[in-house]
Chain A
Amino acid sequence: MEGGQPGPGASSPQIDSAEVLLHGVFALLDPAPKTSYALSLTRGRELRMQRVGSSPAGRSAALKLADCIGCSAFAGREPELEPAAYFSVFCYPFRKGWWDAAPARQRFARTFRVCVAQEPGDNLKLAETWAGKIRELAAPRIPRQEGVTWGLLSRPYHVLVLLNPQSGTGQALQLFRSLVQPMLVEADVAFTLCVTERPNHARELVRAADLSRWDAVAVLAGDGLLYEVVNGLMERQDWQAAIKKPLCTLPGGSGNALAASINHYAGNTRASKEELLTNCTYFLCKGLHAPMDLVSLSTASGKRLYSFLSFGWGFISDVDIASEKYRQLGNARFTVGTIQQLAGLKVYKGRLSYLPVETSSSVSSAPGSPSEQNSHHVPCSNGHPLHILPQPAPGVPRPPHEGSWPEDSLLVPFDQPVPKHWTVVPEEEFISIFAIYQSHLGADFTMAPTAKLHDGSMHLFFLKAGVSRLGLLKLFLAMEKGTHLDLNCPHLHYVPVRAFRLEPFASTGLMTVDGEPLACEPVQGQVHDQLCRIISGS
């Protein structure tokens, strides 16, 4: 049958979506045995089921195969007695629950009995024809998007699933067995489950593993585990190829900002806990993957990290870390943590500079030595003199292996001032500085509603000192709906940036990278467009 589809939107007039590709009458095995259905598979990727029975207006339903994750055919248990074969269809369409306002994916499975011939072999062949055709029609269309290359895992594929058993009240393993595994089986996706035993276990594993065994690496836990995987991949000698291995986030109940964001990008309504896990597992069963920006962060002490979600210092980071304990109760929520931090509101002093997205597109990035650009620049002191070394200083360390990491072409070493075209924030007292590269900080936290997986920017928020506790609370509440920018709080600033540098004046508090704590010291970072790939919905 035909391969690739035409552009998004309307199908060409020649294709009749009602055209029937296969037709047959089979008995439904469950839930209602012995009922016969007339099935039609249409080019419009639907499975139409019309009940055959005494009543003239037989019940009919149309299953959209876009929602189908798998279909398999199998022979009967005793072919001598019973020549019938069978095929089972597994779909997860959006349906409204009993009392939920928002629709959620609900399992819809049907098994049909094929008994049109005497020979079991013939029945099986027919069942396999149906199953194969259904699978073919269920395959997702690869989206065509300007500047973005989507991919599709080619079947059959094998996924490495890394699971943190402590994640989210310790239910991750049970969630895998009861929710994720059945879907993977239905979708005929092979998997290897690896339960992590300690922090950094996943990082070490991914660093050393033979990745050719798997087509994708999934993480069932929180963002922290994916952070380990990303950094483990970048620490490999063959990082350039390794980082292109499609990754997948399956929310295990801890901080799952990326999962919430991906859910949002796919156009789904807010989902949390099991619904979110079902949605993400569904994406894994479909196999579509998209490029994702990564941010490389360097610290003055020589650390080099890769981040996919956020970097922060100040109030939001404090709440993030404080809420860690609350998240163990199974709630990825920040309210109690926020109120608690509010009681002891701290001011964080430092210098923040950034390269706005708008500026960077008009200024050509000079590939020559960055020190040339700054030879005329007087280092701003503010009582904090910067010592300039003539040679490129050890501000950007070499990676611990031969292959060199992607160059941070937008950054200059710490002992040089930031490039001329950067913006330096004049105020130096902050309540919170937070750069997020995805849309959500949690299932209930739309921090950057316009963010995308590959928008080439970090969404930098900084809250200057002087905002009252009341103002902070109002911002926090507005953030749940993503309306915080509409409040026009004079202390809150938002700007999309390509790179930034933060120089704290004192080591106050902890910084966070993807929700993980980092010792407080000067940090700078920049976006690396579409460096990795992540399983996603279209």
Chain B
Amino acid sequence: MGGSASQLPRDLLGEYQELTFLSKQEILLAHKRFSELLSKEERESILQKRVPKSQILTLPELRANPFRDRICRVFSTSEDGDGSMSFEDFLDMLSVFSDSATSEIKSHYAFRIFDFDDDGTLDRKDLEKLVNCLTGEGDETRLSESEMDQLIQNILEESDIDKDGTINLSEFQHVISRSPDFASSFKIVL
């Protein structure tokens, strides 16, 4: 157990096991990794602290993820909307991205992550941002306007069942959840 100044109380550990998809080992490992993001003094009161988004994003498992920014925002319960995460936020995130989480939970959160403007549907703007996240930042690494149009047109044709120009949660789940590979691309394992 070396290193962490404060250990996770047994009853909390049990509670977390109940509330998340994580196993005991996974929770303990998460606790260790989270505390490493805090300074030595902060580790005393690990459960009360929030880690700024910039720190969370230093985790190697998140650093390479094209949607790391949105992931933090979605799981953060910070009232400031700054994407900072408490330990419980962190656990929530790992729980959804764990092997044991159901496909339904994963697709539910995937939807929220892709819903950049948080308005409950995936419209053109959301899809544009999604594609741009995937292809990388920067002006040189973007699709042309006509290419983007073509792509979004295709996506909508393939997934917009009620043809209202946006993808709602059930349309999203209908399309995504059937994919055999979906679960593996929505996985973060420490």
Interface residue ranges, A against B (CB under 8 Å) = 318, 321-322, 325-326, 328-329, 331, 333, 335-337, 339-344, 468-470, 473-474, 477, 480
Contacts and interface: CB of A to CB of B under 8 A. Distances in A.
Contact of B181 (A328, A341, A468, A473): A341
A406 to B, nearest CB: 36
B159 A470 contact: no
Nearest to A337: B179
Contacts of B154: 333, 335, 480
A333 B175 CA distance: 12
Contacts of A474: 143, 147
B122 to A, nearest CB: 12
A469 B157 contact: no
A216 to B, nearest CB: 34
12 contacts: A322-B179, A322-B181, A333-B154, A333-B157, A335-B151, A344-B185, A469-B136, A470-B141, A470-B143, A473-B143, A477-B143, A477-B147
B135 interface: yes
B158 A473 contact: no
B184 interface: yes
B150 A480 contact: yes
B142 A326 contact: no
A321 B66 CA distance: 24
B158 A470 contact: no
A478 to B, nearest CB: 9
Contact of B157 (A325, A328, A331, A342): A331
Given A340-B182, A470-B143, A329 B131 contact: no
Q: Range of interface residues on chain B? A: 20 to 34
Contacts of A468: 135-136, 141
Contacts, number: 74
A341 B181 CA distance: 8
The winner among B134, B176, B178 for most chain A CB atoms within 10 A is B134
Contacts of B178: 325-326, 328
B158 A326 contact: yes
Contacts of A344: 181, 184-185
B29 interface: no
Interface string B168-190: 00000011101111101100000
A339 B131 contact: yes
Interface in B76-100: none
Given A340-B182, A343-B185, A474-B143, A335 B155 contact: yes
B26 to A, nearest CB: 22
Contacts of A333: 154, 157-158
Contact of B159 (A321, A328, A336, A342): A336
A326 B179 contact: yes
Given A322-B181, A468-B135, A468-B136, A473 B151 contact: yes
A328 B177 CA distance: 13
Contact of B155 (A321, A336, A342, A470): A336
Interface in B143-173: 143, 147, 150-151, 154-155, 157-159
Given A325-B178, A474-B143, A339 B150 contact: no
B135 A469 contact: yes
A201 to B, nearest CB: 24
A470 B175 contact: no
Given A329-B158, A468-B135, 10 more contacts: A318-B181, A326-B158, A329-B175, A335-B157, A340-B182, A342-B134, A343-B66, A468-B136, A469-B136, A470-B135
B180 A322 contact: yes
Given A335-B158, A339-B131, A470-B136, A477 B151 contact: yes
B186 to A, nearest CB: 9
The winner among B154, B159, B176 for most chain A CB atoms within 10 A is B154
A342 B136 CA distance: 12
B58 to A, nearest CB: 21
Contacts of B151: 335, 473, 477
Interface in B56-86: 66
A339 B175 contact: no
Nearest to A336: B158
Contacts of B142: 470
Contacts of B159: 336
A378 to B, nearest CB: 41
Contacts of B135: 468-470, 473
A435 B134 CA distance: 27
B147 A340 contact: no
A473 B143 CA distance: 8
A335 B156 CA distance: 10
A394 to B, nearest CB: 34
Contacts of A341: 181
